[in-house]
Structure 1
C-alpha cells in the first residue's frame, strides 16, 4: 500500500533534519551545554570516573542544591526585570538600577567579552549583577515591588542566606543538612509570597 503524500513529506523533512544534525556533528559543531543529551553525557565529557568517588558523591549532592539556587536566582532576575520593564519601559536598566550596580555589571560584561573563546553569562546586563544586588535593586524601586514583596528586610535576609550557601558550594564546600533545608525553606517562602 502506498503512503499518503503528507506522511512522505513529514518523513522526508524529519530525515533531512537528522542528516543535517549528523553532518553538523561531523563538521565539528560545538554543542552548547543545553544541547547535551543527558547527565551521563556531561559526566563522561568531564571524566568524573577519574576523580575520587567520595568527593564526586558529595559534590553531586551539592550540585542539586546549586541547581535549585541557580534556577531560583534566574527566576528572580526574570521577575525583577519584568517589574522594572513594566515601570520604566525600555529605559528600565538606566532608571531602575543604581549607577554603582550598573557600573559593576558593565565592567563585568566588558571583562568577560575580552575572553572571546568562552561563553557569556547572559543576554542583558542584569545577568552580570550578583545575587546580593537583587534586593538592592528591589529596595531602590520599592514602590514597584512592595505590593508583592511586602518587606525589604525579609527579602534581604532571604537573599543573604541563599548567597551564603551558594558561595560555600561554589568554593567546593559541602553544606550540612540544616543549611540545605534552610535554602529550601527560604526559596519556598519567596515563591509563596512573590510567585516566582
Structure 2
C-alpha cells in the first residue's frame, strides 16, 4: 500500500503536469516562449517533418500534453496495481487467482506476439501488456485488496470508465475537444481524490 507521503507525491506530480499543460497552452495561444527548457520536438527532424502538413503538426503539438497526462496516469495506476498485488500476494502474484484467467491469457498472448516480431520487447512484466480497461477489471476483481486504497468502489469504476473513454482519442490520434481536455484533468484529480 502507498503511504500518505507517496500518495501526496503522486498528486503533486500530476498537478505539476496539469500546470505545465496550461503553460503549454498559453505559449501556443499567444505565440510566446516562456523559456521553460522543453526538450526539442520532432520539428528538429528537418528531413521528414517538413513533409507533414502544418495543420497536422499543430494538432500533434496540441495533443502532446494530453498524451503525456494520460501516459502518466496510466503508468501510475499500473504501478499501484503491481505494488498492491505484490505486497498482498508476494512476487508470484501474476500466477495466482488475483488475475482473471481471460486477462492473464490475453496479456501473455500479447507478450508472445511481441516477442515473435523480433523487435525489442517493451517489458518482461505481463502486467505491462494489459489494456487500461483490464487494469480496471483487475482492481474490481480484487476489491478486497484495493478497497483500503480508495473511498468508494463505484467511484473508482466511474473514474476508470471516464479515463478509458478519454483514452480512445488520445491513443488513436484524434484531437480532444477543449471540454474533454478539462474532463481529462478533472478525472485525474478525481482519481487522486479517491485516494485521500
Same fold flag (TM > 0.5)? yes
Deviation per residue, 1:56-79 (Å, 9 max, x gap)? 111211121011101110111011
> Which consecutive aligned stretches of 4+ in structure 1 deviate over 4 angstroms post-superposition?
none
Other-structure match for 2:156? 155
Write the deviation string for residues 69-102 of structure 1: whole angstroms up to 9, x where unpaired.
Answer: 0111011101111000011002211222111110
* SS class of match (1:172): coil
Provide the TM-score with structure 2 as the length reference: 0.74
Q: CA RMSD in A?
A: 2.1
Q: How many residues align?
A: 158
Match of 2:111 among 105, 109, 116: 109
Deviation of 1:46 after TM superposition, in Å, equals 8.1
Helix, strand or coil for the counterpart of 1:97? coil
Q: What's the secondary structure of 1:90's corresponding residue?
A: coil
| TM-score normalised by the chain length of structure 1 | 0.74
Matched-pair contact (CA < 8 Å) for 1:101–1:133:
yes
The residue matched to 2:163 in structure 1 has which SS?
Answer: helix
Where structure 1 has 5 or more consecutive residues not aligned to the other structure, the ranges are 1-36
Tell me the equivalent position of 2:76: 75
Q: Do the aligned partners of 1:105 and 1:126 also contact (CA within 8 Å) in 2?
A: yes
Matched, 1:60 2:61: yes
| Counterpart Cα distance in 2 of 1:43 and 1:162 | 32
Deviation at 1:189, TM superposition (A): 1.4
Matches of 1:152 and 1:104, distance apart in 2: 25
Q: Distance in 2 between matches of 1:103 and 1:144?
A: 22
Partners of 1:46 and 1:129 lie apart in 2 by 36
Give the match for residue 102 of structure 2: 100
Q: Distance in 2 between matches of 1:171 and 1:134?
A: 19
User: Which one has more relative contact order, counting CA pairs under 8 Å at least 6 apart?
Assistant: 2
Question: Is this contact kept in 2: 1:108–1:128, CA < 8 A?
Answer: yes
